Amino acid sequence: MSQADTRTETDTMGAVEVPADRYWGAQTQRSIGNFPIGDERMPVPLIRALGLIKKAAAETNAALGVLDADIARAIADAATEVADGTLDDHFPLVVWQTGSGTQTNMNANEVIANRAIEMLDGEIGAKSPVHPNDHVNASQSSNDTFPTAMHIATALETHDRLLPALDRMIAALNEKAREFDDIVKIGRTHTQDATPLTLGQEFSGYAAALDLSRTRIDHDLVNVYALAQGGTAVGTGLNAPKGFATGFAARIAEATGLPFKTAPNKFAALASHAALTDFHGSLNALAADLFKIANDIRFLGSGPRSGLGELILPANEPGSSIMPGKVNPTQAEALSMVATQIMGNHTTITMAAAQGHFELNVFKPVIALNVLQSIRLAADAMASFTERCLEGIEPDRARIAELVERSLMLVTALAPHVGYDTAAAIAKAAHANGTTLREEAVGGGHVSGEDFDRIVRHERAQTVTGPAKRVIENVEDYPRPPALERVDDTIRIVFAGQTVAETDEAYRVLETFHAPTYYLPMAAYAEGVLQPGEGSSLCEWKGQASYFDIVTNGQRASRAAWSYLRPTPDFAPIKGFFAVYAEPMDACFVGGERVTPQPGNFYGGWVTSRITGSVKGAPGTTHW
């Protein structure tokens, strides 16, 4: 590189030649030379989180009188370019560096300082009027900045990538559960034939498992919102002015729309990464469920002639370079490979998190790499699997019916009528002789042909119309005035990562064009989560409603719940019961199904797959 291609930058160890077209400085250039290890660059989401951090720090320092307003503004403007990705090419460092992430923090300080100098018409590399340490890194240390970036990047990637992909997959599974709800198939346990269920029930199990994974993720994010910034070098806050930590966290919360807060104990925030280990545990559990679902679907789609063949999977590409016409379950294979990678990442994160010697964990970059990789891979793989496989799955009804007819496990329905031992003997005889259950049961004189048909038909009917069968209701058929009825399902509400209410003793109100509104008894709510809120409203049918806030884990949802303390006579059973708006909650569930809020954020109905028809929305929309 010629002298014209470089400029001279300095640090405490002397002068270093740096590419002239790059904003980084001496410490970044030294790191490039000192750590030629692999090609795993520091994750882009973490770099962009550093941009948010430096902007918030500059603004907080200006407010506290630490920085001149013009310098702070230039730093904030340059940091914004880092946060929005404009300067991604100026962050060349690999993950394999100092375990505190110091080189990457200085990379950010140098890039932002030089860009700010350029904005102020100064000379890049002069460290004036903006200095990377004195100004960009003011009130900070790498030891509190890097873990803060880890938490911010994790939370943002989870909300921006992971949860939308997970929600789409859950919705697709629920849709398939509805679509397949009338298809009776043979169940399997231990990979052997078992009693029947519907294909819809099988898919509803997949959806419910992922719903639980989402709840775990929401819950485990709560501790990720706690930020180390303000602890500086060892957690004491040396060189950070009073009010810096809280002011900084408030600015990050405002910039991201997420409930970030300052960590209550900065010593733990620097030395321990249990919050990320715990959070990644929820990703590990998600990976286990994804692996199981992917494997089930590819085995159910095996064949097309020599396998189970119950599902017809979309054909996306040729499957073999030697066998013409072969099509493989590639999306399921990709998803299961991603799941194994996430499981391996969890082992790495666990080991790295255990290295918090004394006041500082020095395995931070490898933790960040693995957490962010798991989020990205899970999000991408779920999105791809949902779009290119799940949404296009079709049942092979003829094959499913054939396997039901051939199964010996329908004999379970005979057991209450002929006894367990006799039923077992019938099944064994049918298997040994290559006959049907009906032939052995009737031929052996155990039941009449008429009774056999009635019993087995009843077993199949129970599969379709039993408790797991969901009755679809049209909201246009709901009454007005509204009706009140008890609910058989379990109702659960999650807020701020905590289950704040759960009950099997709820009521629901049904009204024309409205999604059902669910009322839970006071005893269903965790102690202290319901606190009196502001205002009231009048319902012509139920009476005057009083509003309540929901408060837990340091978060408050204002006027999120309401109750009729003195209801009209027709609604007397819900006196002292409380309904909740779904929109401000993390999640609300009816019978294990995650609900969506009634459109418009005006009414408090909960929309599930069990209702159809046109639902009333905000004032001025349809049905007003």
- Annotated catalytic residues are 190, 320
Q: Which helix (H) or strand (E) holds 546?
A: strand 543-552
Cα(495)–Cα(586) distance, rounded to whole angstroms?
5
Place of tokens 């027709």: 570
Reduced to 3 states, what is the DSSP secondary structure of residue 607?
Answer: strand
CB 365 within 8 A of CB 95: yes
Residue with tokens 């094959």: 399
Quote the DSSP letter at residue 191.
T
Sequence letter at residue 624: W
**Crossing angle of helices 364-388/330-353, nearest 10°?**
160
Q: CA 28 → CA 23, 80, 115, 208, 336, distances in Å?
A: 10, 20, 15, 48, 38
The CA distance from 343 to 348, in Å, is 9
User: Which residues, in sequence order, are CB contacts of 356 under 8 Å at separation 6+?
Assistant: 271, 272, 273
Instruction: Look up residue 297 and give its amino acid.
Output: I
DSSP string, 373-390: HHHHHHHHHHHHHHHHTG
In 272-389 the beta strands, taken as DSSP E runs, fall at 311-312
Helices 142-157 and 364-388, interaxial angle, to 10°? 10
| CA distance to 200, 521, 544, 614, per residue, from 575 (Å) | 37, 9, 11, 29
Do you know the residue count of the chain? 624
The neighbouring-strand residues paired with 520 are 578
Residues in Cβ contact with 372 at an 8 Å cutoff, skipping those fewer than 6 apart: 43, 45, 46, 153, 154, 157
